[in-house]
Amino acid sequence: MTSLHRLTLAGALLAAAASPAWAEAPLVEMHKDPNCGCCTAWAEHLEEAGFEVRQHETRDMRGVKIEHGVTPGLASCHTAVVDGYVIEGHVPAADIRRLLDERPDLAGLAVPGMPHGSPGMETGRHDDYAVLGWRHDDRTPSVFAEYTHD
């Protein structure tokens, strides 16, 4: 095999290894109350989008939120961590992908409350909602994405 063939083969292998088909699924560690069904539905939404989700059941969600810096104004029913970022509530998978791709200086993303129509909360009703980002050193959230329904 010539040097040119080796370089071509090495380049093809590098490109294949970097493609999404070869990439390892991001691992999401999700903490939820054992009785919460919408949390399980959100986990299924993430799995369908290519994430790996490990569900940890706990009755001390308040303690989990405090540990991860989730303030009451950002709180929802479940708290997750993916690649060092905190994900609070029904954040769409596309926004988590964007977060992981762009890697902004944020502690995490949150969808406060439990808006109807957000992933895991498909009830037939659709509320407008925002995905908020916050930093550890400044707990004032900013809008990361908005979802409106007519």
At 24-74, the pLDDT tens digits run: 789 999 999 999 889 999 999 999 999 999 999 999 999 999 999 999 999
Query: pLDDT band at residue 5, thresholds of 50, 70 and 90?
Result: very low
Q: Using alpha carbons, select from 26, 49, 124, 119 the residue that is nearest to residue 77.
A: 119
Predicted confidence (pLDDT) per residue in 69-89, tens digit: 999 999 999 999 999 999 999
Task: Cite the DSSP H helix spans in the chain.
Answer: 3-18, 37-48, 61-67, 93-102
In the chain, what are the domain boundaries?
28-147
Sheet containing 108-111, strands listed edge to edge, beginning at the edge strand earlier in sequence: 52-57, 27-32, 79-82, 85-89, 108-111, 129-134, 142-147
C-alpha–C-alpha distance, residues 66 and 45, integer Å = 25
pLDDT band for position 16 (cuts 50, 70, 90): very low
3-class DSSP state of 58: coil
More confident of the two residues 138 and 150: 138
